[in-house]
């Protein structure tokens, strides 16, 4: 379909009657309206999914997140649950202020502050607890 659109606009349009350029303008306006509407509808669906996900309990949201995806989002400085910016360097921030997802917890063995998404403690190597602490 991309080839057909390219062929129409680049190869064939010069051979069509000009009509003052109205054909090109009309097609451009129609395509802009259709693509804009699709983008707005897609964004609204995404926002509805995000709001629905934020209403779920912390444990269920954590279960739905992929480990690698959560680590990548944390490396970018955004919450893995709602993708909003979070100050991860602040030692007092343990939960996302936007959606309430637990970002940091304490190790059960050495009580070191660690990422709630890691499987093992980075200080002592103890496996992470099955359930992070509640807010």
Same domain, 94 and 109: yes
Are 60 and 99 contacting, i.e. CB atoms less than 8 angstroms apart? no
Q: What is the pLDDT of residues 43-80, one digit of tens each?
A: 999 999 888 887 888 777 777 777 888 888 888 989 88
The pTM (predicted TM-score) of the whole model is 0.54
Same domain, 68 and 37: no
Same domain, 40 and 62: no
Q: Is the CA virtual torsion 59, 62, 63, 64 positive or negative?
A: positive
What pLDDT is stored for residue 38 in this prediction? 98
Same domain, 48 and 75: no
Same domain, 29 and 41: yes
Diameter over CA atoms, the chain:
79
As a whole number, the mean pLDDT across the chain is 82
Which tops the pLDDT comparison, 51 or 18?
51
């Amino acid at each position: 379909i991309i080839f057909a659109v390219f062929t129409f606009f680049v190869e064939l349009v010069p051979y069509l009657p000009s009509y003052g350029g109205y054909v090109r303008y009309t097609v451009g306006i129609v395509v802009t309206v259709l693509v804009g509407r699709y983008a707005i509808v897609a964004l609204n669906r995404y926002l509805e999914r995000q709001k629905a996900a934020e209403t779920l309990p912390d444990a269920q949201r954590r279960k739905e997140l992929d480990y690698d995806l959560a680590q990548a989002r944390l490396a970018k400085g955004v919450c893995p649950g709602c993708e909003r910016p979070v100050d991860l360097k602040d030692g007092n921030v343990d939960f996302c202020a936007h959606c309430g997802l637990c970002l940091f917890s304490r190790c059960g063995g050495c009580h070191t502050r660690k990422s709630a998404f890691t499987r093992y403690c980075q200080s002592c190597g103890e496996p992470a607890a099955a359930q992070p602490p509640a807010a």
